Amino acid sequence: MSRRVPVHITVNGVEHASEVEPRTLLVHYLRDELGLTGTHVGCDTSNCGACTCHLDGESVKSCTVLAVQADGADVKTIEGMADGEKLHPLQEAFWEHHGLQCGYCTPGMIMAAADLLERNPSPTEEEVRKGLEGNLCRCTGYHNIVKAVMAASKVGAPA
Amino acid sequence: MSITEERAASTNGFIGQRVRRLEDPPLLTGQGRYVDDINLVGQLYVAFVRSPEAHAKIASIDTSAATAREDVVAVFTGEDVAVLAPLPMVWAPPGVEMRTPEHWPVARGNVNHVGDPVAVVVGTDRYSVVDATEDVVVEYESLPVVVDPEEALKDSSVIHEALGTNKSHEWGLGGGDVEAGLAEADVVIERRIVNHRIAGGAIEPRGVVAEWRGDELTLWSATQIPHILRLLLAGMLGVPEDKLRVIAPDVGGGFGSKLNVYGEEATLGWLARKLGRPVKWIETRSEGMQATHHGRDQIDYVKMGAKRDGTVTTLHIKVLADLGAYHMLLTPFIPAFTAFVAGGCYKIPNVQTDVVGVFTNKMATDAIRGAGRPEATHILEVMMDQMAAELGMDPLELRRKNFIPPEDFPATVAVGIVYDSGNYPGALDRLLANLDLEAFRREQAELRERGIYRGIGFSTYMEICGLAPSRVVGPSGVGIQAGFWESALIRVHPSGSITAYTGASPHGQGIDTTFAQIVADKLGVTPDQVDVIHGDTGRGPFGMDTYGSRSLAVGGEALVRASNKVHDKVKRLVAHLLEAAPDDIELRDGKFSVKGSPDRGMTLAEASLAAYVPENLPEGMEPGLEETNFYDPENFVYPFGAHAAIVDVDAETGKVSVVRYVAVDDCGPAINPMIIDGQVHGGIAHGLGQALFEHVAYDEDGQLVTGTFVDYALPTAAEFPSFETDRTETPSPVNELGVKGVGEAGTIASSPTVVNAVVDALRPLGVTFMNMPLSPMRVWEAIQAAKGGEGKGPALAEGGGQ
């Protein structure tokens, strides 16, 4: 019933040509159109950050971006983080330091952390905590998430 | 070296080791499978029309505009959704008059809280079905709204006419004689402690997908209780249990909030059958804040008496429990849980808890992480500090004076239950070894000169978990209409790999790994050879699911017993094949071998193949290698510990900062210390969240004013320090592993810890008592009130939440 508009979006290195309703959120485009269900939805007010992915190299909350705004852009999701069988250092660190429990916030948390470390490769613990303020986790009390991000940074794992 | 590292070093097995989680790789790479990740061919989307009114008669519902939309398949109202029974509540305490209002999946007649569903819309896509809800026109005739539980009790306006009163029930548990205890006391203190309403806050919202095929219904739900849900939905939907399969796929956290039988689950099951097409509903966060059950919400009127020397002689708690608008699965039972552990880790001879449950026009309360025990610990540990101040005693000295001594275990306490094991002074000693109290006092003095008030608070908690001996909590005991055993099935495949089915249904607790470690040690394999299956009623035996920190102590023990049966069968088989006596076979270095001749032995895989290709079995032995166990525990288990918080309060702004949080917990011997630490961290954060930030608040019209994560103030990483954790290990005699639960301990311990710390910080300013949440505004008000009010407890600070 509703008008659809064409978009060209490159996701994890693969170019997709699709037609979407103008109001389609990027997160629903990724999940429902492309079947990339690693990007999650946990709220409707852009607080929880479960939907965080990268748009042209910067982390965004994909529930607050329209798919049409990503037209022509390069999107990276959690599915694009590992290099084949080899996990991304953040994925490895989250595994090693028990940075996840239910796993629901994890993809967004890793994408936000990747952006944080890109901008600040040697953060202090406080900078990591401030930097992840836009991503909510209810399981871990953030303790092991912070530890994992520190371990994946240039600072390295605490003794 | 910590205790755990010492233990790990002393064993070659996997039990006690920090094994990385087996469940993590898919979750780390976006390959998890949560309910919203399931899409079925021909699937329709469902959205609910919800009441914006807290209490109203539904005068009319006009669905014509919505139905006329091309993208809408059907719209149904309350009477249309013809399930056979209302939503269940399963507590029927013998001899207690329990008033339970009818509660249908979609409201019939009246709505009783904001978010009560009044109609359900089914359409062809995710977005338009939400549009269509706005085309459903509902006329409401407003009714008087009751929000304050103390007001509700006066019955000046009754919510459920058929009940004639807002009082749900009265129930009590006690032992000794509280009046005699009062007579003995030199000092009696009374406090009104408000334990305000909070949310579970799982980051994955609830969601359901349902599919009807032939005569079978399959329902995927973000639930903690697939087995219980199936049993109860079978009755509501008139579908035989064997034709109804409930699957909890990956579940993104629960914290109690997914421990229920929700109207949406029943409605989706009904819709799938009615429409003959798969249906999907995914809760929005705004819906979740309105219509996923809340927790706590007690006003506790507490009286404690003690002798001058600090001996506590009596404790009397009157609990006014705000149940919200309905009874859900365990709503009225939750405050009863408070009563079981009211006496905590102290030898208090006279303890009585009297509960009154009352209905209000809010969402129902039910189990949220700790479920009644955080309330109990909060009451007791706040009161211990209050009493210490009254007596002029050190709060820790008062606690030590009243601890149940280690030699008293198993210890029968006043309310009649038997604590299995404990070493309360041991945990406190260990905590103090992790703190530098002298340094704290030094820093406290320095900071105070700069207007920063530093305080330290403690709680020495115990709790009850491992639900439960069925004869104690079942129909003729406490009155829950169920048994609380757990099941396990070990299936060794011919090649020697293992599938272990558990009736527990974890959702983040790392049970796949913990259980694989146990089975691996029992059967001489590695954890990655053990696939743990849970959360699917179509695979494995009936189970009793995951809540109340029960999975390891009950489900883990069932698994131990099933593994032991497999172990014994393998021994008999290997003995037969190697012509040795079964007693001479031992499991060593991954082989079932003859004692003293390690070369003569068989691996599990070799033995399994011999069991499935049964050319030479001992007389009477059945082929195959598979064993089941249903385990009903003899007693609960009783974890405990000692926590400390150091906080800084800015007296100018009222802002509280947690500087250090140190926790010593004892949940028996660790299976996986990394996972235990993780559980404690999350638990602490939930309790600190309640103590400092979180609050489900309704205004006087019953409007939810904290309807999003922003307003609710779910804490972020920036609000907390890193936590310091340590353990003591006191085995439970109840199960073979000696284990107790740990999923809720952190939450149970932490809210009084931080409240005591804030009060400690502010005593120099005359603040002596505060109710949660300790928001900057409330702390600032307390400071101002104390300045102007002779140092007594400030009135504003005692208000608590509604």
Among chain A residues, the shortest Cα distance to B681 is held by A141
The 10s digit of each residue's pLDDT in B9-23 is: 444 599 999 999 999
CB-based contact B72:B121 (threshold 8 Å):
yes
SS3 of residue B355 by DSSP: strand
The 10s digit of each residue's pLDDT in B145-155 is: 999 999 999 99
Percent of chain A with pLDDT over 90: 94
pLDDT of residue B4 exceeding 90, the answer is no
Q: What is the pLDDT of residue A156?
A: 81
Domains in chain B: boundaries? 3-32+485-631, 39-143+209-251+258-291, 370-467+635-791
SS3 track for B439-494:
HHHHHHHHHHCCCEEEEEEEEEEECCECCCCHHHHCCCCCCECCCCCEEEEEEECC
The 10s digit of each residue's pLDDT in B439-487 is: 999 999 999 988 899 999 999 999 999 999 999 999 999 999 999 999 9
What is chain B's mean pLDDT, rounded? 96
Q: What mean pLDDT comes out for the span A2-9?
A: 93
CATH of domain A89-152: 1.10.150.120
CATH of domain B3-32+485-631: 3.30.365.10
Percent of chain B with pLDDT over 90: 96
Q: Which of B28, B685, B723 sits opposite A95 (nearest CB)?
A: B28
Q: What mean pLDDT comes out for the span B62-90?
A: 98
More confident call, B710 vs A135: A135
Residues from chain A contacting residue B720 (CB–CB below 8 Å):
129, 141-143
CATH class, domain B370-467+635-791, is alpha beta
Q: What mean pLDDT comes out for the span B46-53?
A: 98
SS3 track for chain A:
CCCCEEEEEEECCEEEEEEECCCCEHHHHHHHHCCCCCCCCCCCCCCCCCCEEEECCEEEECCCCEHHHHCCCEEECHHHCCECCECCHHHHHHHHCCCCCCCCCHHHHHHHHHHHHHHCCCCCHHHHHHHCCCCCCCCCCCHHHHHHHHHHCCCCCCC
Q: Does A36 touch chain B (CB under 8 A)?
A: yes
What is chain A's mean pLDDT, rounded? 96
Q: What mean pLDDT comes out for the span B109-126?
A: 98
For residue A104, the distance in angstroms to the closest alpha carbon of chain B comes to 5
Domains in chain A: boundaries? 5-79, 89-152
CA contacts within 13 A on the Cβ side of B595? 7
Q: What mean pLDDT comes out for the span B86-101?
A: 97
Q: What mean pLDDT comes out for the span B694-704?
A: 98
Rg of chain A's alpha carbons, rounded to an integer? Answer: 16
Structure tokens at A148: 């994992």
For residue B742, the distance in angstroms to the closest alpha carbon of chain A comes to 13
The 10s digit of each residue's pLDDT in B786-798 is: 998 544 444 444 4
For residue A42, the distance in angstroms to the closest alpha carbon of chain B comes to 5
Q: What mean pLDDT comes out for the span B60-88?
A: 98
Q: How far apart are CA B105 and CA B116, in angstroms?
A: 9
Q: What is the pLDDT of residue B8?
A: 41
A158 confidence band (pLDDT: 50, 70, 90) = low
Domain B3-32+485-631 identical in fold to domain B39-143+209-251+258-291: no
Q: What mean pLDDT comes out for the span B142-168?
A: 98
The 10s digit of each residue's pLDDT in B282-337 is: 999 999 999 999 999 999 999 999 999 999 999 999 999 999 999 999 999 999 99
Contact B34 A31 (CB under 8 A): no
CA B10 to chain centroid, in Å, comes to 33
Q: How far apart are CA A149 and CA A79, in angstroms?
A: 19
The 10s digit of each residue's pLDDT in A68-94 is: 999 999 999 999 999 999 999 999 999
Window 57-116 of A, Cβ < 8 Å to B: 77-79, 81-82, 87, 91, 94-96, 98, 100-107, 110
Helix (H) or strand (E) holding B195: strand B187-199
pLDDT of residue B802 exceeding 80, the answer is no
The 10s digit of each residue's pLDDT in B621-659 is: 999 999 999 999 999 999 999 999 999 999 999 999 999
B39-143+209-251+258-291 topology per CATH: Aldehyde Oxidoreductase; domain 3 (3.90.1170)
Closest listed residue to residue B319, CA positions, set B196, B198, B193: B193
A159 confidence band (pLDDT: 50, 70, 90) = low
Q: What mean pLDDT comes out for the span B660-684?
A: 98
Contact A136 B709 (CB under 8 A): yes
Closest listed residue to residue B585, CA positions, set B594, B577, B576: B594
Q: Give strand pairing partners of B455.
A: B647
Q: What mean pLDDT comes out for the span A42-69?
A: 97
At the second CATH level, the architecture of A5-79 is Roll (3.10)
Q: What is the pLDDT of residue B792?
A: 45
Q: Does B322 touch chain A (CB under 8 A)?
A: no
B584 confidence band (pLDDT: 50, 70, 90) = very high
**Helix, strand, coil percentages in chain B from 3-state DSSP, rounded to 5:** 35, 25, 40
pLDDT of residue B76 exceeding 50, the answer is yes
Contact A140 B678 (CB under 8 A): yes
Q: Which ipTM value was assigned to this complex?
A: 0.98
Q: In the sheet that B498-502 helps form, which strands lie side by side, from edge to edge? A: B530-533, B498-502, B486-492, B626-631
